[in-house]
Amino acid sequence: MLKVKFSILLVIFACAFAQAASIDDTITICNDCHGAKGVSSDSDIPIIAGYSETTIIDMLAAYIDETRIAQKSKFRHGDTQRPETDMVTIAQDLSEEDIEALASYYSAQSFIPAKQSFDAILAKEGAKLHENRCTKCHEDGGSSADDDSGILAGQWRPYLEQSFSDYRSGERQTVAEMQKKINKLSEPQINSLLHYYASQQ
């Protein structure tokens, strides 16, 4: 009887170890584009450290459903000779358990703002614009993860610029209220917002 119980414990331990090793490998793959602990050093790749669990799960779900487009990208770290991939391909290979584990891991990391240039005058204009148009969903100047809308403050400006472009073209879907607000923004206003978010370092 003891031998049977011991064998069962060994199986449970082996399964738990395999699962842990698997998610560690998955995190490594994610970090090979998003940077160590999700802090990207590449301006076209978003910093995902510190995002809420809900935000990360929703983002991955959008890629799985292909309601969010995905650009092909080379790996930025590790074996950079690997073939290009994209977030749809990666997300669709994840299990529900993988997604929950990734959301838990990255939400526990610290968001570190990107060091980047910005125009102080445009940033000042963007601050006012954010307060008037965006703060309902993006609190604390876009720095709050608790609103489950991602973190804008300190995010890479080129990445956010591409995101705005994708929303305006309809290639990236969002809720109707958000789409309406984005469509009302002029290009100069978007540029001011981008410099405001970039200024928060």
Alpha helices in the chain (DSSP H): 2-34, 53-64, 87-92, 96-107, 120-133, 139-142, 157-169, 176-184, 187-199
**Residue range 133-161: mean pLDDT, rounded:** 96
For the segment 59-96, what is each residue's pLDDT rounded down to a tens digit?
999 999 998 989 999 999 999 999 999 999 999 999 99
For the chain, the structural domain boundaries read: 2-107, 120-199
- At residue 54, the pLDDT reads 97
| Nearest residue to 168 via CA among 184, 191, 152 | 184
For residues 55 and 102, the answer to whether their CB atoms sit within 8 Å is: no
Q: Quick one: CATH architecture of 120-199?
A: Orthogonal Bundle (1.10)
**pTM metric for this prediction:** 0.87
Homologous superfamily in CATH for domain 2-107: Cytochrome c-like domain (1.10.760.10)
pLDDT of 107 higher than 50? yes
Cα separation, 188 vs 167, in Å, equals 16
Asked whether this chain's domains 2-107 and 120-199 adopt the same fold, the reply is yes
| Nearest residue to 57 via CA among 111, 97, 110 | 97
